[in-house]
Structure 1
Amino acid sequence: MLTELGKKAKEAEKTLMIATTEQKNKALKYIAQALIENADEIIQANTIDLENGKNNGMSEAMLDRLKLDKGRIKGMAKGVEDVVLLPDPVGRVLSETTRPNGLNIKKVSTPLGVIGVIFEARPNVTSDAAALCLKSGNTVILRGGKEAINSNRIIAKTMREAVKKSGLSEDVIQLVEDTSRESANALMQMNEYVDVLIPRGGAGLIQAVVKNATVPVIETGVGNCHIYIDKDANVDMAADIVYNAKTNRVSVCNAAESLLIHKDIAKEALPKIKAKLDEKSVELFGDEEAVDIAKGIEKATERDWGTEYLDYKMSVKIVNSLDEAVDHIYKYSTGHSECIVTENKEAAEEFLNKVDSAAVYVNASTRFTDGGEFGFGAEIGISTQKLHARGPIGLPELQSFKYKIYGNGQVR
């Protein structure tokens, strides 16, 4: 079954890679329209997934990731429409030079080819990934988790019918309906048909792909995101930023998990931040100083500093300096997103320069690490690696390049 999908993807790649911007945008517009028109059918399928998730003991945070309603489906359609408005990344001349022998050499952006996307219980990834791959000239094989199979099946069917209506091959988008571990492992080793694999999900999924794949992988991120409250911070601003970064949506990778506070401001800042977090019943796990400053904070263990909770939980540490905060981040961060809250411009620049994560903020919530918020229309994931793609994976990151060389009879 997977071999058949791979063959179809390779065949569809031949036409998609040379499709015009107008052809691709037409297909994307049809997809956005079809998602809205089929919202009731998608929600009906999603209801089955939600019920199965509840019966299987899925956490509230994961159920929130899984849930679709008309508002979220409109958001999915909007994400596709936003991709329509973005410049076509295919065929851009990245550099050009003429050699002394007269050869004209152009470095030109090209699609990666066939992209495999393995993801878990977020059905919106199905449309985000498909839209970005289509616009960037890549065919895509989607393999979601069993938690969202009914939702994914209807979304994929809707998109394929829309693409076919536009005149392109529906096989530019395909879904692996077998959600067994065997199908995932097989996709990871389809070197003959798959050019790049992108995992999107929890730490377990990402590490399984990184360790088992023979296909090249763009590693996306587990998010142990930190917020450092500097001694020169505006405390009210700090409380608002921490509250948003932690509680706006706890189940996502750009939610803040760790809070660092300078000792000079801790007695003022920590109680105010905790009072704000108490509104959402966030559990705090702190070092001895944090426990002494504010009641209701549990003693942290070593494990807490490196945990991506994806829940209403957060670790708290009091630090003596900006450098100590940076050292802590270096030790425990996953390289996703970090923030400093400060009114001191020199401290802000020092933090930006010293912290080596994909996204580093001054006085803003880590929740903005998102393809849509960055103006990319959508994203396939957040890359925490340093090769090729880093941060939100949008259209430019789904490109490779080739050299076009023009001569007039040169021989060597």
Structure 2
Amino acid sequence: MTFEAVAVRAREAAHELALATRATKDAALHAMAGALVAATDDVLAANAGDVAAAREAGTSESLVDRLRLDAGRVAAMADGLREVAALPDPVGEVVRGSTLANGLELRQVRVPFGVVGIIYEARPNVTADAAGICLKSGNAVLLRGSSSARRSNEAVVGVLRDAAAGAGLPADVVQLVPGEGHESAKALMRARGLVDVLIPRGGAGLIRSVVEESTVPVIETGVGNCHVYVDRDADLDMALAIVLNAKTDRPSVCNAAESLLVHAAVADAFVPRVVRALQEAGVTVHGDATFAAQDGVLPATEDDHRTEYLSLDLSASVVPDLAAAVRHIRTYSSGHTEAIVTGSLDAARRFTAAVDSAAVVVNASTRFTDGGEFGFGAEIGISTQKLHARGPMGLPEMTSTKYVVTGDGHVR
């Protein structure tokens, strides 16, 4: 089937989905969740083929981890769908409304985009997350995953389509873009008029390619060069726990910390301690002169400060004050998430006001920047742009608005 045919079917499905009640959409989401759990063995068998092919191709273990599914991850995918079903339906929500001086009633209401295209890498759990959140927000979705997850994505989408149809919705509310090469992605990027919005989710190269090549409007998700700054007034036990969690809890995801900044006033006490703890956890530290004086620390390069490692690596620097930490973040951050550890309310206020990222965290791990952790349910991605959506993209961010104007024979 050609891409154009798939896109036309998605648009037809979107028209029908836009009229579906919340009860119908929620029933479909629960059916999808149950079907995924029931098909766990089939999904894992398909995923095993992808993982074996990735390892044979020499793919790094951090990327293999993003690709790999197990029974727990499939169950989590199903739970994500159920969580989305439990959330309020954004469609029809009145954003604002008033009665004008002339008696016209004005309402701005949320409406679906229509057809959403998503281009993403590796992680097959994105397939279920994206399908669920698009369905609940009234959008048909065209999914273009990476070739490395082709078997997994085909298995998951097949299950979701059958479940949606069984619940009374068109199966075409969820479709994979046909083909595997760049031409299939290019067709999606150039489908202006058939696709309403395009969301890239993956590494810097993928995002840059979509932003630069697409004629379809793009909501830009970003890479995560996330920083943790340990202030002079930090509780150093708290700081150590936060740094370790932010770096090592799951290093292959975008909200993992990639850079550590330490105030010079606490460097003598904290640097040896944090280096030792990080190394015991398997982390390679790429540090400035102060950090590099510790055994096993590699000298940091300019590229290290800019790198989203997605691995057990961390760049680290000592800064003279909070202002220098903010300058460092402004220079190297990707605009995703930055954290400060401090006991000073003034320092926290200055940091949150000065740092311009999608999420700024005080005395907590960067790992909390996540749709599920924020209470939004499964997310499409973390937007690092400043238009329409910023931060975790939940249901409201997957809608547009329109104005409904009601009169009683009014003429101008």
TM-score class, shorter-chain normalisation, is: over 0.9
SS in 1 for 2:138: coil
- Does residue 127 of structure 2 align to residue 129 of structure 1? no
Question: What residue in structure 2 maps to residue 291 of structure 1?
Answer: 292
The yes-or-no answer on 1:149 pairing with 2:150 is: yes
Aligned mates of 1:279, 1:25 — CA distance in 2: 46
- Counterpart position of 1:305: 305
Amino acid at match of 1:378: A
Residue 362 of structure 1 corresponds to 362
C-alpha separation between the residues in 2 aligned to 1:54 and 1:297? 29
Runs of 4+ in 1 over 3 A off after TM superposition: none
Could you tell me whether the CA contact under 8 Å between 2:35 and 2:163 is conserved in 1?
yes
1:6-48 Cα distance to aligned partner (Å, 9 max, x none): 1001101111111100000000000000000000000000000
Contact 2:27 2:167 in 1 (8 A): yes
Q: TM-score scaled by structure 1? A: 0.99
Partner of residue 245, structure 2:
244
Offset at residue 289 of structure 1 (A): 2.2
* C-alpha contact (below 8 Å) 2:15/2:114 kept by paired residues: no
1:98 lines up with 2:94 in the alignment: no
Q: How does 1:245-260 map to 2 (within 5 A)?
A: 245-260=246-261
Counterpart of 2:396 in structure 1 is: 396
SS in 2 for 1:63: helix
Distance 1:242 1:253 in 2: 15
Provide the rounded CA distance (Å) in 1 between the counterparts of 2:112 and 2:86. Answer: 19
Counting matched residue pairs gives 411
**2:178–2:184 CA contact under 8 A, matched in 1:** no
Q: Deviations over 1:198-249 (max 9, x none)?
A: 0001111000000000000000010000000001111111111111111111
The answer to whether the 8 A contact 2:3-2:178 is kept is no
In the TM superposition, 1:135-284 aligns within 5 A as: 135-284=136-285
Structure 1: 5+ residue runs without aligned partners?
none
Amino acid at match of 1:339: A
- Aligned residue type for 1:268: A
Matches of 2:42 and 2:236, distance apart in 1: 47
- Structure 2 CA distance for aligned equivalents of residues 309 and 328 of structure 1: 18
Structure 2 CA distance for aligned equivalents of residues 177 and 364 of structure 1: 42
SS of 2:317's equivalent? Answer: strand
Mapping of 1:11-26 within 5 angstroms?
A: 11-26=12-27
8 Å CA contact 1:149–1:177 kept in 2: the answer is no
- C-alpha contact 2:291 2:316 (8 A) present in aligned 1: yes
Partner of 1:6: 7
Gaps of 5+ in 2: none
In 1, the alpha carbon distance for the partners of 2:98 and 2:365 equals 43
What is the deviation of 1:295?
2.1
User: Hey, what does 2:344 align to over in structure 1?
Assistant: 344
Return the alpha-carbon distance in structure 2 between the equivalents of residues 98 and 289 of structure 1.
64
1:163 is matched by which residue type in structure 2? A
Q: CA offsets, 1:42-78, max 9 Å, x none?
A: 0000000000000111100000000000000000000
Comparing 230-239 and 71-80, the one that deviates more: 230-239
> Deviation at 1:93?
1.0
Partner Cα separation in structure 2 for residue 228 and residue 305 of structure 1: 14
The residue type equivalent to 1:314 in the other structure is L
- Residue 176 of structure 1: CA displacement? 1.5
In 2, the alpha carbon distance for the partners of 1:43 and 1:177 equals: 22
Residue in 1 aligned with 2:60?
Answer: 59
**CA deviation digits over 1:257-313, x for unaligned, max 9?**
000000010111111111111122211111112223x22211111111111111111
Amino acid of the residue matched to residue 311 of structure 2? D
How far 1:100 sits from its partner (Å)?
2.1
Tell me the secondary structure at the aligned position of residue 94 of structure 1: strand
Comparing 234-243 with 159-168, greater Cα deviation is found at 234-243
Q: Distance in 1 between matches of 2:150 and 2:387?
A: 32
Cα distance in 1, alignment partners of residues 39 and 107 from structure 2:
44
Amino acid corresponding to residue 283 of structure 2 in structure 1:
V
The root-mean-square deviation of aligned C-alpha atoms, in Å, is 0.8
Contact 2:81 2:132 in 1 (8 A): yes
- 8 Å CA contact retained: 2:201, 2:381: yes
In the aligned structure 2, how far is the partner of 1:47 from the partner of 1:399? Answer: 35
- The Cα offsets for residues 187-207 of structure 1, whole Å up to 9 and x where unpaired, read as 001012100000001111000
* Map of 1:383 onto structure 2: 383
Distance in 2 between the 1:80 and 1:276 partners?
A: 37
User: Could you list the per-position Cα deviations for residues 63-108 of structure 1 after superposition, in whole angstroms to 9, with x for gaps in the alignment?
Assistant: 0000000000000000000001100000011111222222111111
> What pairs up with 1:327-338 in 2 under 5 angstroms?
327-338=327-338
